Amino acid sequence: MRLQTQLTLAFTTLLVITMTIVAVMVHSLLLDYLIQNEKNQMQEKAEVFSSILSAEVSFQQWLDNEELYMFVYDHVRHQVLLYTPSLDVDLIVDWVTTYDLTQSDQPLWHDGKQQYVVSIFPMYPDLVAQDVVLVTPLDDLQEVQQTFFNRLMIVFLVGILIIILLTHYLTHRLVTPLTQLKFQLKKIEKRKFDDIKRVRASGEIKEVEESVIDMATELERYMKSQQQFFQNASHELKTPLMTIQGYAEGIKDGVFQNIEAERGLEVMVAEISRLKQIINEMILLAKLDSDENVYQEKTLFISELVQSTVDRALPLALDQQIALNHHIEEDATIYVDDEKMLQAVMNIVSNAIRHAKSKVFIEVIQFSGRIHVHIDDDGPGIENDLLPHLFERFIKGKGGETGLGLAIARAIVERSNGTVHCEKSPLGGARFTIIL
């Protein structure tokens, strides 16, 4: 069953149950109210009736107009002294013997066919023990009750119709965005990212829609990056393999001999080392993406991380005749995998040393409660068209090695709940910033 139908049925069922309970209670209480009201009116009429009797005025026409029956009963002689001609004397006797006329609050009297509302009051309380009994049929009250109840049912049915229409409208507004969102998810499932359209919604559904769009964007980016990764990986792996295959076949067929054969073997060893490095870095990237156990976090001072980086990068800097300096504004602790984070910083620093002209500077500052590690060099900088793709896999500029170093650095930093980006350095080259 569709969600809209379920919501409509739920609201309608709740309304029907509520209105039914109200209708039953009103129907039951209404008759009691009408009876009590009729008794009160009869008491007032009784006072008028007493004054009519005292004035010895004919009252038969008055009784007929008021739709009342009357008889006078003497408790001492147990006789009916006076009664309206429309009442049967046998019925009056039956009533007198059946009901207790001394009770002020009388139940509904019966004549075998219909019910009557009864009011009893003393005729001359100080003189004689005689009571005037006024009786009126219940049919009129039941007609009023039925009329009122019919109108109540009309209101009830109109209310149900309005609620159904309102519920249908509201649930339609709720379900329509969900239905449209389902179609967009189908497009994502079939990878039709260009056909995805925004869904007009509000509240929590809008938040879900935004999350779906973000997911689709990220999934499209990931799929493109994976496709590009496999293309670049095949190219990077094929190049050393072709070199190794060429020299191996040349040595086997005797094309390369003596010194050329030895040189070919050296090239093969170098290419195998390069191939091994690429494979190891690809395995590390795969583990960083999927293996939770590969990353072991612990508390580490930022000064220890920077000093370890400088100690390991210093031989490369001296070999390239690059001045490597660092400055820590204020020491602080971070919660990272020390070996992985050292590798990430080393990848960036070694990259800076390879492209620097004369110096590389590492600076640590704190800003807005976070640690910023700046790595600056005075090299030629990075081309603007390469900058957005710098941290993607197998993307490398001039002098790059495998194209995986910066991708590994970003993966490690992001696993540490940090970010890394690149911009132009005040020294003239590139500035890499790690925020932890």
Identify the pLDDT of residue 203.
73
Q: Give the per-residue pLDDT at 49.
A: 55
Cβ atoms 152, 23 nearer than 8 A: yes
Query: Between these two residues, 332 and 67, which has the higher pLDDT value?
Result: 332
- State the pLDDT confidence band at 303, using cuts at 50, 70 and 90: very high
Q: For residues 389 and 346, what is the distance between their CA atoms, to the nearest angstrom?
A: 20
Q: Are 167 and 8 in contact (CB under 8 A)?
A: yes
User: What confidence score (pLDDT) does residue 322 get?
Assistant: 92
Q: Reply yes or no on whether the pLDDT at 304 is more than 70.
A: yes
With a CB cutoff of 8 Å and minimum separation 6, the contacts of 149 are 23, 26, 27, 30
Average pLDDT value over all residues in the chain: 79
Return the pLDDT at 56: 43
Question: Could you report the per-residue pLDDT of 288-299, keeping only the tens digit for each?
Answer: 766 666 778 899
Residue with tokens 């590389």: 360
If you search the block for the tokens 């008794």, which residue do you land on?
A: 39
> What single DSSP character describes residue 356?
-
Flag whether the pTM goes above 0.75.
no
Instruction: Give the orientation angle of helix 203-252 with respect to helix 259-290, to 10 degrees.
Output: 160
pLDDT winner (highest mean) among 32-46, 50-64, 106-120, 337-351: 337-351
Give the Cβ contact number of residue 402 at 10 Å: 19
Report the alpha-carbon distance of residue 248 to residue 240 in Å, rounded.
12
pLDDT band at 57 (very low <50, low <70, confident <90, very high): very low
**Domains, the chain, ordered by start:** 3-144 (3.30.450), 203-290 (1.10.287.130), 295-435 (3.30.565.10)
55 pLDDT band (50/70/90 cuts)? very low
